[in-house]
Amino acid sequence: MPIYLDHAATTPLRREALDAMLPYLDGDFGNASSLHSFGRRARAGMDEAHEKVAKAIGATAREIVFTSGGTEANNLAVKGAAWAAKARGHRIITTSVEHHSVGHTVRYLEKFGFEIVELPVDRYGRVDPDDVANAITPKTILVSVMLANNEVGTIQPIAEIAARVAAHKGILFHVDAVQAAPYLEIDVTALGVDLLTMAAHKFEGPKGVGALYLRHGTNILAQQQGGAQERYRRAGTENVAGAVGMAAALELSAAERSETSPRLIALRDGLVAALVSVPGVELTGHPTDRLPGLASFVVTGVEGSSVTMALDLAGVAASTGSACVSGSTEVSHVLSAMGYPEDEARGALRLSLGRTTTAAEVTEAADATARTIATQRAATDRLRVEKITSLRPAESAAAEFEAETHDVAGSSQR
Protein backbone atom coordinates (compact mmCIF):
# COMPACT_ATOMS: atom_id res chain seq x y z
CA MET A 1 0.00 0.00 0.00
CA PRO A 2 1.56 3.37 -0.98
CA ILE A 3 2.20 5.91 1.74
CA TYR A 4 -0.26 8.80 1.48
CA LEU A 5 1.36 12.11 2.43
CA ASP A 6 -0.96 14.49 0.61
CA HIS A 7 -3.55 15.20 3.29
CA ALA A 8 -3.53 18.91 2.43
CA ALA A 9 -5.01 17.95 -0.97
CA THR A 10 -7.62 15.69 0.53
CA THR A 11 -8.06 13.04 3.23
CA PRO A 12 -9.63 9.59 3.19
CA LEU A 13 -13.27 9.40 4.29
CA ARG A 14 -13.28 8.12 7.86
CA ARG A 15 -15.44 5.12 8.69
CA GLU A 16 -17.60 6.96 11.24
CA ALA A 17 -18.47 9.67 8.70
CA LEU A 18 -19.37 7.05 6.10
CA ASP A 19 -21.54 5.20 8.64
CA ALA A 20 -23.32 8.44 9.53
CA MET A 21 -23.97 9.15 5.84
CA LEU A 22 -25.18 5.73 4.69
CA PRO A 23 -28.80 5.97 5.95
CA TYR A 24 -29.25 9.20 3.96
CA LEU A 25 -27.96 7.52 0.81
CA ASP A 26 -30.35 4.65 1.39
CA GLY A 27 -33.73 4.59 3.17
CA ASP A 28 -33.65 8.21 4.46
CA PHE A 29 -33.33 9.61 0.96
CA GLY A 30 -36.07 12.23 1.31
CA ASN A 31 -35.88 15.85 0.22
CA ALA A 32 -35.33 17.91 3.38
CA SER A 33 -37.96 20.41 2.15
CA SER A 34 -40.71 17.78 1.84
CA LEU A 35 -43.35 17.73 4.54
CA HIS A 36 -43.90 13.94 4.67
CA SER A 37 -42.02 11.53 6.90
CA PHE A 38 -39.21 10.96 4.37
CA GLY A 39 -38.62 14.69 4.17
CA ARG A 40 -38.84 15.11 7.93
CA ARG A 41 -36.14 12.48 8.49
CA ALA A 42 -33.86 14.25 6.01
CA ARG A 43 -34.67 17.61 7.68
CA ALA A 44 -33.76 16.14 11.07
CA GLY A 45 -30.42 15.05 9.60
CA MET A 46 -29.79 18.56 8.26
CA ASP A 47 -30.80 20.17 11.57
CA GLU A 48 -28.45 17.95 13.53
CA ALA A 49 -25.63 18.62 11.05
CA HIS A 50 -26.10 22.40 11.50
CA GLU A 51 -26.00 21.94 15.29
CA LYS A 52 -22.85 19.82 15.26
CA VAL A 53 -20.85 22.01 12.86
CA ALA A 54 -21.89 25.13 14.79
CA LYS A 55 -20.90 23.60 18.12
CA ALA A 56 -17.43 22.65 16.82
CA ILE A 57 -16.62 26.31 16.06
CA GLY A 58 -18.51 28.10 18.86
CA ALA A 59 -21.39 29.24 16.64
CA THR A 60 -25.15 28.68 16.56
CA ALA A 61 -26.92 26.38 14.12
CA ARG A 62 -28.54 29.14 12.07
CA GLU A 63 -25.14 30.74 11.47
CA ILE A 64 -24.05 27.73 9.37
CA VAL A 65 -24.69 27.54 5.62
CA PHE A 66 -23.83 24.24 3.93
CA THR A 67 -22.25 24.55 0.49
CA SER A 68 -20.70 22.28 -2.13
CA GLY A 69 -17.24 22.78 -0.63
CA GLY A 70 -14.58 25.30 0.31
CA THR A 71 -14.56 26.92 -3.12
CA GLU A 72 -18.28 27.67 -3.07
CA ALA A 73 -18.18 28.87 0.55
CA ASN A 74 -15.32 31.26 -0.31
CA ASN A 75 -17.20 32.52 -3.39
CA LEU A 76 -20.37 33.03 -1.36
CA ALA A 77 -18.49 34.84 1.40
CA VAL A 78 -16.46 37.16 -0.81
CA LYS A 79 -18.98 37.89 -3.58
CA GLY A 80 -21.92 37.86 -1.19
CA ALA A 81 -20.31 40.35 1.19
CA ALA A 82 -19.01 42.54 -1.64
CA TRP A 83 -22.32 42.88 -3.48
CA ALA A 84 -24.29 43.42 -0.27
CA ALA A 85 -22.03 46.32 0.76
CA LYS A 86 -21.54 47.89 -2.66
CA ALA A 87 -23.58 50.98 -1.84
CA ARG A 88 -21.22 51.76 1.06
CA GLY A 89 -17.85 51.07 -0.53
CA HIS A 90 -15.83 49.06 -3.01
CA ARG A 91 -12.48 48.30 -1.40
CA ILE A 92 -11.57 44.70 -0.56
CA ILE A 93 -8.37 43.83 1.28
CA THR A 94 -6.80 40.40 0.97
CA THR A 95 -3.34 38.82 0.77
CA SER A 96 -1.13 37.60 -2.04
CA VAL A 97 -1.10 34.00 -0.72
CA GLU A 98 -4.81 33.14 -0.64
CA HIS A 99 -6.18 30.00 -2.26
CA HIS A 100 -7.40 30.70 -5.81
CA SER A 101 -11.02 30.33 -4.64
CA VAL A 102 -10.48 33.68 -2.90
CA GLY A 103 -7.72 35.14 -5.11
CA HIS A 104 -9.51 34.54 -8.40
CA THR A 105 -12.84 35.60 -6.90
CA VAL A 106 -11.55 39.04 -5.92
CA ARG A 107 -9.98 39.41 -9.37
CA TYR A 108 -13.40 38.62 -10.85
CA LEU A 109 -14.99 41.30 -8.66
CA GLU A 110 -12.36 43.77 -9.86
CA LYS A 111 -14.01 43.60 -13.30
CA PHE A 112 -17.17 45.05 -11.72
CA GLY A 113 -15.43 48.05 -10.19
CA PHE A 114 -14.33 46.68 -6.84
CA GLU A 115 -10.86 47.83 -5.77
CA ILE A 116 -8.64 44.95 -4.68
CA VAL A 117 -5.72 45.40 -2.31
CA GLU A 118 -3.47 42.34 -2.18
CA LEU A 119 -1.17 42.69 0.80
CA PRO A 120 2.39 41.37 0.60
CA VAL A 121 3.74 38.68 2.92
CA ASP A 122 7.16 38.12 4.45
CA ARG A 123 9.63 35.33 3.63
CA TYR A 124 7.54 32.97 5.78
CA GLY A 125 4.27 33.87 4.09
CA ARG A 126 2.93 35.97 6.97
CA VAL A 127 0.96 39.15 6.54
CA ASP A 128 1.65 42.03 8.94
CA PRO A 129 -1.53 43.05 10.85
CA ASP A 130 -0.34 46.66 10.69
CA ASP A 131 -0.35 46.43 6.87
CA VAL A 132 -4.02 45.46 7.12
CA ALA A 133 -4.69 48.44 9.42
CA ASN A 134 -2.84 50.81 7.06
CA ALA A 135 -4.73 49.57 4.01
CA ILE A 136 -8.16 50.28 5.52
CA THR A 137 -9.95 53.35 4.16
CA PRO A 138 -13.54 54.59 4.63
CA LYS A 139 -14.39 52.72 1.41
CA THR A 140 -13.26 49.33 2.74
CA ILE A 141 -16.07 46.78 2.99
CA LEU A 142 -14.32 43.43 3.36
CA VAL A 143 -11.07 41.90 4.58
CA SER A 144 -10.34 38.28 3.63
CA VAL A 145 -7.31 36.45 5.05
CA MET A 146 -6.77 32.70 5.29
CA LEU A 147 -6.11 31.10 8.67
CA ALA A 148 -3.45 28.71 7.38
CA ASN A 149 -1.87 28.39 3.98
CA ASN A 150 -2.42 25.25 1.93
CA GLU A 151 0.99 25.25 0.24
CA VAL A 152 3.40 26.19 3.01
CA GLY A 153 1.25 25.76 6.15
CA THR A 154 1.94 29.22 7.58
CA ILE A 155 -0.61 30.36 10.16
CA GLN A 156 -1.72 33.99 9.91
CA PRO A 157 -2.14 36.22 12.99
CA ILE A 158 -5.94 36.22 12.59
CA ALA A 159 -6.95 37.53 16.03
CA GLU A 160 -4.53 40.50 15.65
CA ILE A 161 -5.90 41.24 12.19
CA ALA A 162 -9.48 40.94 13.51
CA ALA A 163 -8.70 43.56 16.16
CA ARG A 164 -7.46 45.98 13.45
CA VAL A 165 -10.59 45.37 11.36
CA ALA A 166 -12.93 45.71 14.35
CA ALA A 167 -11.51 49.17 15.07
CA HIS A 168 -13.61 50.30 12.08
CA LYS A 169 -17.36 50.08 11.73
CA GLY A 170 -19.02 48.11 8.96
CA ILE A 171 -16.07 46.09 7.59
CA LEU A 172 -16.67 42.35 7.35
CA PHE A 173 -13.84 39.96 8.14
CA HIS A 174 -13.74 36.65 6.26
CA VAL A 175 -11.34 33.82 7.07
CA ASP A 176 -10.65 30.77 4.91
CA ALA A 177 -10.12 28.05 7.52
CA VAL A 178 -10.20 25.13 5.07
CA GLN A 179 -6.70 23.87 5.89
CA ALA A 180 -6.73 24.91 9.53
CA ALA A 181 -10.03 23.36 10.61
CA PRO A 182 -8.73 19.84 11.35
CA TYR A 183 -5.69 20.95 13.33
CA LEU A 184 -6.24 24.37 14.94
CA GLU A 185 -8.88 25.26 17.47
CA ILE A 186 -11.58 27.28 15.73
CA ASP A 187 -13.65 29.56 17.93
CA VAL A 188 -15.33 32.19 15.80
CA THR A 189 -15.70 34.59 18.74
CA ALA A 190 -12.07 34.27 19.88
CA LEU A 191 -10.91 34.69 16.27
CA GLY A 192 -13.19 37.71 15.81
CA VAL A 193 -14.46 36.72 12.37
CA ASP A 194 -17.76 37.45 10.61
CA LEU A 195 -17.45 34.75 7.95
CA LEU A 196 -15.45 31.52 8.02
CA THR A 197 -15.02 28.78 5.43
CA MET A 198 -14.50 25.04 5.98
CA ALA A 199 -14.41 21.99 3.68
CA ALA A 200 -15.28 18.48 4.88
CA HIS A 201 -12.76 16.59 2.76
CA LYS A 202 -9.82 18.12 4.64
CA PHE A 203 -10.87 16.41 7.89
CA GLU A 204 -11.86 12.96 6.66
CA GLY A 205 -15.36 13.97 5.65
CA PRO A 206 -16.82 13.62 2.15
CA LYS A 207 -15.70 15.65 -0.86
CA GLY A 208 -18.07 18.19 -2.37
CA VAL A 209 -19.44 19.57 0.89
CA GLY A 210 -18.38 22.58 2.92
CA ALA A 211 -19.80 25.19 5.22
CA LEU A 212 -19.77 28.93 5.59
CA TYR A 213 -20.12 30.40 9.06
CA LEU A 214 -22.05 33.64 8.85
CA ARG A 215 -22.19 35.69 12.06
CA HIS A 216 -25.79 36.42 13.05
CA GLY A 217 -26.84 39.74 11.50
CA THR A 218 -24.17 39.65 8.75
CA ASN A 219 -25.61 40.83 5.49
CA ILE A 220 -24.58 38.96 2.33
CA LEU A 221 -26.21 38.62 -1.06
CA ALA A 222 -27.02 35.00 -1.98
CA GLN A 223 -25.10 33.86 -5.05
CA GLN A 224 -27.64 31.25 -6.15
CA GLN A 225 -31.26 32.04 -6.75
CA GLY A 226 -33.90 29.39 -6.33
CA GLY A 227 -35.53 27.83 -3.29
CA ALA A 228 -35.53 28.89 0.34
CA GLN A 229 -32.91 26.36 1.46
CA GLU A 230 -30.32 27.35 4.05
CA ARG A 231 -32.54 30.29 5.05
CA TYR A 232 -32.40 31.79 1.55
CA ARG A 233 -28.62 31.98 1.68
CA ARG A 234 -27.91 28.98 -0.58
CA ALA A 235 -30.66 27.76 -2.85
CA GLY A 236 -30.74 24.15 -4.00
CA THR A 237 -31.82 20.78 -2.62
CA GLU A 238 -29.52 19.99 0.28
CA ASN A 239 -26.81 17.34 0.15
CA VAL A 240 -28.10 15.71 3.33
CA ALA A 241 -25.64 12.80 3.39
CA GLY A 242 -22.77 15.22 2.74
CA ALA A 243 -23.79 17.60 5.51
CA VAL A 244 -24.27 14.72 7.95
CA GLY A 245 -20.88 13.26 6.99
CA MET A 246 -19.20 16.63 7.39
CA ALA A 247 -20.75 17.13 10.83
CA ALA A 248 -19.69 13.65 12.02
CA ALA A 249 -16.13 14.13 10.75
CA LEU A 250 -15.77 17.63 12.21
CA GLU A 251 -17.13 16.59 15.59
CA LEU A 252 -14.58 13.77 15.83
CA SER A 253 -11.75 15.86 14.41
CA ALA A 254 -12.36 18.61 17.00
CA ALA A 255 -12.63 16.09 19.85
CA GLU A 256 -9.35 14.39 18.84
CA ARG A 257 -7.45 17.57 17.96
CA SER A 258 -5.61 17.89 21.29
CA GLU A 259 -4.12 14.45 20.67
CA THR A 260 -3.72 14.63 16.88
CA SER A 261 -1.98 17.99 16.52
CA PRO A 262 0.94 17.47 18.97
CA ARG A 263 1.55 13.99 17.54
CA LEU A 264 1.65 15.37 14.01
CA ILE A 265 3.96 18.22 15.06
CA ALA A 266 6.45 15.66 16.40
CA LEU A 267 6.23 13.54 13.23
CA ARG A 268 6.48 16.60 10.98
CA ASP A 269 9.51 17.93 12.87
CA GLY A 270 11.25 14.58 12.37
CA LEU A 271 10.47 14.66 8.67
CA VAL A 272 11.65 18.26 8.32
CA ALA A 273 14.91 17.50 10.19
CA ALA A 274 15.58 14.50 7.94
CA LEU A 275 14.98 16.43 4.72
CA VAL A 276 16.70 19.73 5.50
CA SER A 277 19.83 17.68 6.27
CA VAL A 278 19.91 16.91 2.53
CA PRO A 279 22.03 19.64 0.88
CA GLY A 280 19.97 22.12 -1.13
CA VAL A 281 16.67 21.38 0.65
CA GLU A 282 15.09 24.35 2.42
CA LEU A 283 11.93 24.43 4.54
CA THR A 284 9.35 26.90 3.20
CA GLY A 285 6.80 28.67 5.37
CA HIS A 286 7.05 29.64 9.01
CA PRO A 287 9.39 27.43 11.06
CA THR A 288 7.00 27.19 14.05
CA ASP A 289 3.70 28.96 13.30
CA ARG A 290 2.66 26.37 10.78
CA LEU A 291 0.10 23.60 10.36
CA PRO A 292 1.01 20.54 12.45
CA GLY A 293 1.18 18.05 9.59
CA LEU A 294 2.46 20.17 6.74
CA ALA A 295 6.10 19.99 5.65
CA SER A 296 6.96 22.07 2.58
CA PHE A 297 10.30 22.58 0.90
CA VAL A 298 12.13 23.96 -2.08
CA VAL A 299 14.71 21.58 -3.51
CA THR A 300 17.45 23.07 -5.67
CA GLY A 301 18.50 21.49 -8.94
CA VAL A 302 15.25 19.57 -9.61
CA GLU A 303 11.67 20.15 -10.69
CA GLY A 304 9.23 19.49 -7.84
CA SER A 305 6.87 17.80 -10.31
CA SER A 306 9.63 15.32 -11.34
CA VAL A 307 10.32 14.52 -7.70
CA THR A 308 6.64 13.89 -6.93
CA MET A 309 6.27 11.66 -10.01
CA ALA A 310 9.35 9.66 -9.06
CA LEU A 311 8.14 9.50 -5.44
CA ASP A 312 4.83 8.14 -6.64
CA LEU A 313 6.69 5.31 -8.38
CA ALA A 314 8.61 4.76 -5.13
CA GLY A 315 5.30 4.39 -3.27
CA VAL A 316 4.92 7.84 -1.68
CA ALA A 317 2.08 10.19 -2.64
CA ALA A 318 3.26 13.79 -2.24
CA SER A 319 2.66 17.06 -4.04
CA THR A 320 4.36 20.19 -5.29
CA GLY A 321 1.90 22.43 -3.48
CA SER A 322 -1.65 23.20 -4.37
CA ALA A 323 -3.51 20.27 -5.94
CA CYS A 324 -5.53 22.80 -7.93
CA VAL A 325 -2.60 24.01 -10.03
CA SER A 326 -0.51 20.84 -10.18
CA GLY A 327 -0.36 19.61 -13.73
CA SER A 328 -0.01 23.18 -14.97
CA THR A 329 3.36 24.80 -15.63
CA GLU A 330 2.40 27.78 -13.46
CA VAL A 331 4.83 28.47 -10.67
CA SER A 332 3.32 28.78 -7.17
CA HIS A 333 1.90 32.27 -6.54
CA VAL A 334 2.49 31.63 -2.84
CA LEU A 335 6.22 31.00 -3.16
CA SER A 336 6.51 33.94 -5.59
CA ALA A 337 4.80 36.21 -3.06
CA MET A 338 7.23 34.96 -0.41
CA GLY A 339 10.12 36.10 -2.59
CA TYR A 340 11.30 32.83 -4.11
CA PRO A 341 12.60 33.30 -7.65
CA GLU A 342 11.00 31.12 -10.32
CA ASP A 343 13.86 28.60 -10.56
CA GLU A 344 13.71 27.94 -6.81
CA ALA A 345 9.90 27.85 -6.73
CA ARG A 346 10.00 25.14 -9.40
CA GLY A 347 11.62 22.85 -6.84
CA ALA A 348 8.56 23.00 -4.53
CA LEU A 349 7.71 19.82 -2.64
CA ARG A 350 4.94 19.33 -0.06
CA LEU A 351 4.49 16.34 2.22
CA SER A 352 1.35 16.64 4.33
CA LEU A 353 0.55 14.24 7.15
CA GLY A 354 -2.88 13.43 8.51
CA ARG A 355 -4.48 11.85 11.56
CA THR A 356 -3.91 8.35 10.23
CA THR A 357 -0.21 8.85 9.34
CA THR A 358 2.15 6.61 11.31
CA ALA A 359 5.74 7.17 12.49
CA ALA A 360 6.91 4.23 10.36
CA GLU A 361 5.36 5.81 7.26
CA VAL A 362 7.12 9.10 7.93
CA THR A 363 10.51 7.41 8.38
CA GLU A 364 10.06 5.42 5.17
CA ALA A 365 8.84 8.48 3.26
CA ALA A 366 11.79 10.59 4.49
CA ASP A 367 14.27 7.95 3.24
CA ALA A 368 12.45 7.58 -0.08
CA THR A 369 12.34 11.36 -0.56
CA ALA A 370 16.06 11.81 0.12
CA ARG A 371 16.88 8.96 -2.29
CA THR A 372 14.52 10.34 -4.94
CA ILE A 373 16.03 13.83 -4.74
CA ALA A 374 19.50 12.32 -5.26
CA THR A 375 18.42 10.22 -8.27
CA GLN A 376 16.49 13.13 -9.78
CA ARG A 377 19.49 15.41 -9.42
CA ALA A 378 21.72 12.80 -11.03
CA ALA A 379 19.22 12.44 -13.88
CA THR A 380 19.12 16.23 -14.35
CA ASP A 381 22.92 16.31 -14.48
CA ARG A 382 23.01 13.43 -16.97
CA LEU A 383 20.56 15.21 -19.21
CA ARG A 384 22.68 18.33 -19.08
CA VAL A 385 25.80 16.38 -20.13
CA GLU A 386 23.96 14.73 -22.98
CA LYS A 387 22.73 18.11 -24.17
CA ILE A 388 26.19 19.64 -23.99
CA THR A 389 27.98 16.72 -25.67
CA SER A 390 25.47 16.65 -28.50
CA LEU A 391 26.09 20.32 -29.20
CA ARG A 392 29.81 20.83 -28.54
CA PRO A 393 33.17 19.16 -29.20
CA ALA A 394 34.01 16.64 -26.50
CA GLU A 395 36.69 18.62 -24.69
CA SER A 396 34.83 21.88 -24.19
CA ALA A 397 31.72 19.94 -23.22
CA ALA A 398 33.61 18.14 -20.46
CA ALA A 399 34.97 21.44 -19.19
CA GLU A 400 31.55 23.03 -19.27
CA PHE A 401 29.97 20.07 -17.53
CA GLU A 402 32.54 20.27 -14.76
CA ALA A 403 31.84 23.97 -14.31
CA GLU A 404 28.09 23.42 -14.30
CA THR A 405 28.08 20.51 -11.86
CA HIS A 406 30.31 22.59 -9.62
CA ASP A 407 27.67 25.34 -9.80
CA VAL A 408 24.86 22.97 -8.90
CA ALA A 409 26.80 21.51 -5.98
CA GLY A 410 27.68 25.02 -4.84
CA SER A 411 24.12 26.30 -4.97
CA SER A 412 22.86 23.21 -3.22
CA GLN A 413 25.03 24.00 -0.19
CA ARG A 414 22.99 27.14 0.61
Q: Site residues (CB under 6 A) for ligand PLP?
A: 69-71, 74, 99, 101, 146, 150, 176, 178-179, 199, 210
Q: How far is the CB of 177 from ligand PLP (least distance, A)?
A: 8
Contact 180, 191 (CB under 8 A): no
Smallest distance, ligand PLP to C-beta of residue 350, A: 11
Q: Considering beta carbons, is residue 70 or 293 the nearer one to ligand PLP?
A: 70
Residues 6 or more apart whose CB falls under 8 angstroms from that of 386 comprise: none
- Give min distance, CB of 374 to ligand PLP, in A: 30
Which letter does DSSP use for residue 155 in this model? B
Q: Which residue's CB is nearer to ligand PLP, number 306 or number 322?
A: 322
**Residue type at 195?**
L
Q: How far is the CB of 149 from ligand PLP (least distance, A)?
A: 7
DSSP string computed for 54-77: HHHTT--GGGEEEESSHHHHHHHH
At closest approach, how far in Å is the CB of 81 from ligand PLP? 16
Beta carbon nearer to ligand PLP, 188 or 373: 188
Q: Of the listed 44, 317, 324, 397, which one is catalytic?
A: 324
- Nearer to ligand PLP by Cβ, of 3 and 77: the residue is 77
DSSP state of 203: G
Please say which residue, 300 or 352, places its beta carbon nearer to ligand PLP: 352
- The rounded distance, in Å, linking the Cα atoms of 276 and 268 is 12
Q: Look at phi and psi of residue 90 and say left if phi exceeds 0, alpha if psi is from -120 to 50, else beta.
A: alpha
Q: Least distance to ligand PLP from the beta carbon of 141, Å? A: 21
Q: Which residue, among 177, 173, 135, 187, has the nearest Cα to 156 in the 3D structure?
A: 177
CB atoms closer than 10 angstroms to residue 305: 18
Question: What is the nearest approach in angstroms of ligand PLP to the Cβ of residue 180?
Answer: 8
Backbone angles phi and psi of 319, in degrees to 5 = -150, 165
Residue number of the CB atom closest to ligand PLP: 70
Cα–Cα nearest to 305, from 347, 340, 334, 351: 347
Pick 81 or 146: Cβ nearer ligand PLP: 146
Is 315 marked active-site?
no
Instruction: Give the whole-angstrom CA distance, residue 61 versus residue 55.
Output: 8
276 class by beta-carbon count within 10 Å (0-12 exposed, 13-18 middle, 19+ buried)? middle
Alpha-carbon distance of 149 to 337, in angstroms, equals: 12
Q: Which is nearer to ligand PLP, 82 or 274 (CB)?
A: 82
DSSP, residue by residue, 370-398:
HHHHHHHHHHHHHHHHHHHHHHS-HHHHH
Torsions phi, psi of 214, nearest 5? Answer: -130, 105
Minimum distance, C-beta of residue 74 to ligand PLP, in the bound complex (Å) = 6
Quote the crossing angle between the two packed helices 304-313 and 359-391, to the nearest 10°: 120
CA nearest neighbour of 143 among 113, 98, 178, 203: 98
SS3 361: helix
Q: How far apart are CA 322 and CA 349, in angstroms?
A: 10
Question: Which C-beta is closer to ligand PLP: that of 53 or that of 178?
Answer: 178
- Any idea which residues carry the catalytic annotation? 324
